[in-house]
Structure 1
Amino acid sequence: MIRMLLFPLFLAGMAAADPGNDILDAHVLPGFDRLEAQTQALSAMADAECDTASAPLRGAFADAVKAWTTVSHLRFGPSEAENRGFALAFWPDNRGMTPKVLMGLILARDQAVSDSTAFAQVSIAARGLYALEYLLFDDRIATAGTAEYRCALIRAIAADGARLAGDMATDWHDRYAALMRSPGPGGTYQSEAEVLQEFFKALRTGLQMTAELRLGRPLGTYDKPRSLRAEMWRSGLSLDLIRASLGSQRELALLLAKEDTDLQMELAAKFDLALETASRIDDPTLVGVANPSGRVRIEALQQRVNEIREAVAKDLGPKLGVSAGFNSLDGD
């Protein structure tokens, strides 16, 4: 209800500039600035207090993860360069590599943790936010080796993550935003339509991630639910990240639809229904997929997200004059 009351104000405040610039200024650049700030705060907290059970450290970790989630659908350009996005957020880990590589580092007391350049060459399975979750919340990893080495590893991962986020933010501000603001012959983008298609693909990528990965992986099948495949279940963030992703995808969708008030209202209503459905789920780690009453609520949320996906494909794409094309999840 609150969102719908505020929606006319959102419309009234939107500039007459082209949608690509609006998306950069209201969605992309603030999102990566926030990610940079939160990962820097996490690194500073790790330097000050690296006990795996530290509440302030865990809180800073949660803030950084949520900041990443709000830009995780923007998997092109600065996120794609040098595999920065994968290094910061290696998920899903279908082969269970993260705990194996982390344990190898801990048992060997690998000194890459003492050199940022060397650590940047470590397997991405042992870098980034998802590796840090194991160190802070997994009983086996969080007690392996010595406290001294675990502390050094936590600090190395946090500092590396802050560097990656900083590089992405800098790349957006100093280079990539300009490429999208000035499309033309010989450029990365030949026209404004190509810019919009990139953002449209990003929206579809985000919705696909939410429906098929964040919800679909733990849902598994009725006979074989897979709650331990939920994103960030160890830290209890699974449902929070679904809500964060939907909120960010909502923002992008409404910016893309800015020139059609009716379509904006349609998309806003569908996103708000999904967010309301999520708000009625009291299951932070989605463990309820294993029982009928919990499962039906999570399936209902997935259905709401799929309804958004259908509306985006059927109504928003044609309105923008763009096609879905391939996204970074196709073929995975």
Structure 2
Amino acid sequence: MRTLLALALLPLPAMAGTPEVVNDHILPATDRFATAAHALADAAGADCSASALDTPYQQAFDAWMGLSHLAFGPLEQDGRALTVAFWPDPRGLVARSVRGLVADQDPVVDDPAGFAEVSIAGRGLMALEQLMADEVGDYECRYARAIATDLATIADAVQADWQDHAQLMLDAGQDGNDRYLSAREADQAIYTALLSGIEFDADQRLGRPMGSFDKPRPKLAEAWRSDRPLRNIELSLAALRDMAVALSDDPIPLTEAAFDNAQAQVAELQDDPRLEGVTDPTQRLKVEILQQRIRAIGTAIEGEIGGGLGLTAGFNSKDGD
């Protein structure tokens, strides 16, 4: 009896806010991406010049940053996440694929079903960025329209599939749910995506252009041609913060303070949107501080959210990047 009483008095892990994450974070993000992808497709259909596509392209990429960290479920299926944004790309496959299609004047760009079978490096936001960086002729115009239409199709599929997947997460542990055998499995998937997103920002979005002190590599930054490297980090942090707040039912002051510190450091770098300053020792220090502060977010999440919910990070499809 004394043992049972002692166990009853132990603090229990807080309840995870999986329903809040699903309903208030994930599903709205898929809606925003679908809307932006269709706007990009409409714009490409009307005028495929780089100047006309720039704003809808930027808006589609902005919307993508709201869900790019969800590397499980519908985005993991059929390699959709990499199809939308093929990055990191250390071997330059995007440039090679785009130039190959253009050089061959491959008619596959005029066949939506056929284009869906093209290498993922030749599709998506990164391929469109590559096209927009060069002079747009008749073939490039048709190619840009094919990419935009394909993105809208993928966005629709992700939006629809997340409606079904959301129900699986909300019904975790119920009879017939073979995907999430318990509520903890659904919590674990979200928590792993959260921590993996933080790591991806620090190790990939910052680590790749940083390279080493002796050999910085700013042109390995994500979407550098369209001035997006810093913006992508800023938007990713905002999305991950929203997800973290929704996941924990308890206040998370340490985690929020860590996000504040990182976002303040992003503000210090606003004059360097491409992170080209990694080649300058003074500016590089600011980038290193940002990387440290993003990693500090992960530490705070592990202690405050993981500890509070009794969760540890599992495998994520981004772990191998």
Higher RCO structure, 1 or 2 (CA under 8 Å, sep 6+): 2
List alignment gaps of at least 5 residues for structure 1.
1-16
1:327 Cα shift? 1.4
After TM superposition, give the deviation of residue 310 of structure 1 in Å: 1.0
* 8 Å CA contact 2:76, 2:317 repeated in 1: no
Aligned to 2:7: none
CA-CA distance at 1:89 after TM superposition: 1.1
| TM-score for both structures, normalised by structure 1 | 0.89
- The reply on whether 1:36 has 2:34 as its aligned counterpart is yes
**Do residues 221 (structure 1) and 215 (structure 2) align?**
no
Q: Please, which moves more after superposition, 80-89 or 184-193?
A: 184-193
Counterpart for residue 296 of structure 1 = 285
- Cα distance, 1:190 vs. partner? 1.3
Mapped to 2, the partners of 1:201 and 1:186 lie a distance apart of: 24
Query: Residue 94 of structure 2 contacts residue 122 of structure 2 at CA under 8 Å; is this kept in 1?
Result: yes
CA offsets per residue over residues 246-269 of structure 1, 9 Å max, x none? 0000011111122x22xx222111
Kindly provide the CA deviation profile for residues 198-231 of structure 1, in whole angstroms up to 9, marking residues without a partner as x: 0000101110110001101011111111111111
CA displacement, residues 273-315 of structure 1 (integer Å, 9 cap, x when unaligned): 1101101112000000000111011111111001001111233
> What is the CA-CA distance between 1:18 and the residue it aligns to?
6.0
Instruction: Kindly indicate whether residue 147 of structure 2 is the aligned counterpart of residue 157 of structure 1.
Output: yes
Which amino acid counterpart does residue 228 of structure 2 have in structure 1?
L
Distance 2:151 2:212 in 1: 34
Share of identical aligned residues, percent?
Answer: 41
Report the 3-state secondary structure (helix = DSSP H, G, I; strand = E; otherwise coil) of the residue aligned with 1:253. Answer: helix
Partner of 1:126: 122
**Unaligned 5+ runs, structure 2:** 1-14
Query: Which of 72, 80, 84 is matched with 1:84 structurally?
Result: 80
Secondary structure of 2:226 counterpart:
coil
Matched with 1:109 is: 105
- Assess if the C-alpha contact under 8 Å between 2:30 and 2:155 holds in 1: yes
- The one-character-per-residue Cα deviations of 1:80-119 (angstroms, maximum 9, x if unpaired) are 1122111111111121111111111111111111110000
RMSD: 1.3
After TM superposition, the runs of 4+ consecutive aligned structure 1 residues lying more than 3 A away are: none
Tell me, yes or no, if structure 1 residue 272 matches structure 2 residue 270.
no
Letter in 1 for 2:18: G
**Counterpart code for 1:216:** G
The more displaced of 273-282 and 152-161 is: 273-282
Residue of structure 1 in register with 2:199 after alignment: 208
Structure 2 length-normalised TM: 0.92
CA contact (8 A) 1:205 1:328 kept: no
Partner of 1:238: 229
Asked whether 1:251 is paired with 2:242, we answer: yes
| Number of residues of Structure 1 aligned to a counterpart in Structure 2 | 304
The answer on whether the counterparts of 2:30 and 2:67 sit within 8 Å (CA) in structure 1 is yes
CA distance in 1, matches of 2:203, 2:312: 21
Distance 1:18 1:197, change over 3 A: closer
